[in-house]
Amino acid sequence: MRTQVGIIGAGPAGLLLSHLLHLRGIDSVVLEIRSREYCEGRVRAGVLEQGTVDILTEAGVADRLHREGLVHHGIELRYGGKGHRIAFERLVPGRAITVYGQQEVVKDLFEARFAAGGTIHFEVPDVELHDIDTDHPSITFQGQRLECDFIAGCDGFHGVSRKSIPEGALTIYERTYPFAWLGVLAKVPPSTEELIYAYTEDGFALHSMRGPEISRLYLQVPPDASLDEWPDDRIWAELKRRLETIPDWELTTGPIIERGITPMRSFVAEPMRYGRLFLAGDAAHIVPPTGAKGLNLAAADVRMLAEAISHWYATGSDELLDRYSDACLKRIWRAQHFSWWMTTLLHTFDTDDAYGRRLQRSYLDYVTSSEAAATTLAENYVGVPFERFGTFGG
């Protein structure tokens, strides 16, 4: 088989890249180890930056997003018995976030790719990459060989793409955190109109949503926590204890329909290119979910990669391909810092560290009382504009 771009992974990064290339007249084949049902059903991120919404809109895959997505113009920081709203409409006018589940983005992209005649192979085991340091890379799977001009590794942190790069060719930056997130999806109307980030000395909690009848909630738990230790009653009791900390506010409870524990890590692999293999999304970088940046970084990566590849086909020049990694990493490191900052600001690290807790409380007071500090949080949360971080000229 032959295509122009072989894409490993049918998550939002791989599918969006395939569609952006299609819009530029460039063929691609997507290989995915899981089934389509798995890809469409896996509940992950749900907060889209303004720039991500713009990318999806320009790509023609955002009609349902605009109908069903929940546009938010602020978030609440809750601590010390009070709620403090970070008002995006005042601090960063014209920019907002949209709550719309990653699985919904994936469904929209599948529909667009199949409507355009896109080629996606599901349940493909034993994928191997070959000759990635030459002008003629290829991918083998199920006894077949796919020849291509470029390979895009969009297959996540545990995928084959990054592992195919020779040892020593990448520099790894990594940090792990001494806690995890227990996340639940509950069939219950949200108790709030905007996301609540709650800091307590007993641990962090987050109240989010996935629609008018579905709530998404998170608890900080020990890194070795097991779901068996957290029956429904205990989950709701702990959520109420951490969220019901302001007068006259009550958490609505109901059936939990999905749950999982997510480890917290920060990770960056540099550079995001080896020969004709280009990494994008979680294959190249991971952020703790506190800053809601994972899906948004993946979309920014493939936006840049589609531009670089189309430039090569149009001109024969390697200029943008050579600049891809450095251009992406500017935005990635800004998001890394913001995610680390939000994580260290809102989580309990050591129950015996009274000094550290006082520092956290001091900075929370500063963020919620200073226009400059609140603007910094708001600008990073809705996403730094692409003209500042996210162009080849920036």
CATH number at residue 123: 3.50.50.60
pLDDT of residue 44: 76
213 lies in a domain?
Answer: no
**Structural domain of residue 49, as residue ranges?**
5-73+95-174+265-348
For the segment 35-75, what is each residue's pLDDT rounded down to a tens digit? 999 999 887 778 999 999 999 999 999 999 999 999 999 99
Name the catalytic one among 100, 199, 218, 381: 381
Do the Cβ atoms of 379 and 92 come closer than 8 Å? yes
Annotation says 289 is catalytic: yes
**DSSP assignment string, 149-212:** SEEEE-S-TTSHHHHTSPTTSSEEEEEEEEEEEEEEEESS--S-SS-EEE--TT--EEEEEEET
Kindly report the number of other CB atoms within 10 A of residue 82's CB atom: 12
48 lies in a domain?
Answer: yes
The confidence band for 394, taking pLDDT boundaries of 50, 70 and 90, is low
The confidence band for 350, taking pLDDT boundaries of 50, 70 and 90, is confident
Name the catalytic one among 19, 207, 285, 293: 293
Largest CA distance in the chain: 65
Annotation says 311 is catalytic: no
119 lies in a domain?
Answer: yes
217 lies in a domain?
Answer: no
86 lies in a domain?
Answer: no
Kindly report the number of other CB atoms within 10 A of residue 317's CB atom: 11
Name the catalytic one among 197, 199, 218, 324: 197
- What average pLDDT does range 218-231 have in this prediction? 97
**Rg, the chain, Cα only:** 21
For the segment 179-203, what is each residue's pLDDT rounded down to a tens digit? 999 999 999 999 999 999 999 989 9
Name the catalytic one among 137, 274, 289, 324: 289
Residue 392 has pLDDT above 90, yes or no: no
Name the catalytic one among 22, 72, 73, 347: 72
For the segment 149-184, what is each residue's pLDDT rounded down to a tens digit? 999 999 999 999 999 999 999 999 999 999 999 999
**Rounded distance, CA 108 to CA 102, Å?**
10
Instruction: Indicate the residue type of 260.
Output: G
Domain count, the chain: 1
Strands 214-221 and 150-153: unpaired
388 lies in a domain?
Answer: no
Do the Cβ atoms of 1 and 146 come closer than 8 Å? yes
364 lies in a domain?
Answer: no
Beginning with the edge strand found earlier in the chain, give each strand of the sheet holding 97-99 in spatial order.
47-48, 97-99, 70-72
User: The pTM is what?
Assistant: 0.96
26 lies in a domain?
Answer: yes
The confidence band for 310, taking pLDDT boundaries of 50, 70 and 90, is very high
* Residue of 10, 5, 347, 6 whose CA lies nearest to 176: 347
Annotation says 240 is catalytic: no
Annotation says 72 is catalytic: yes
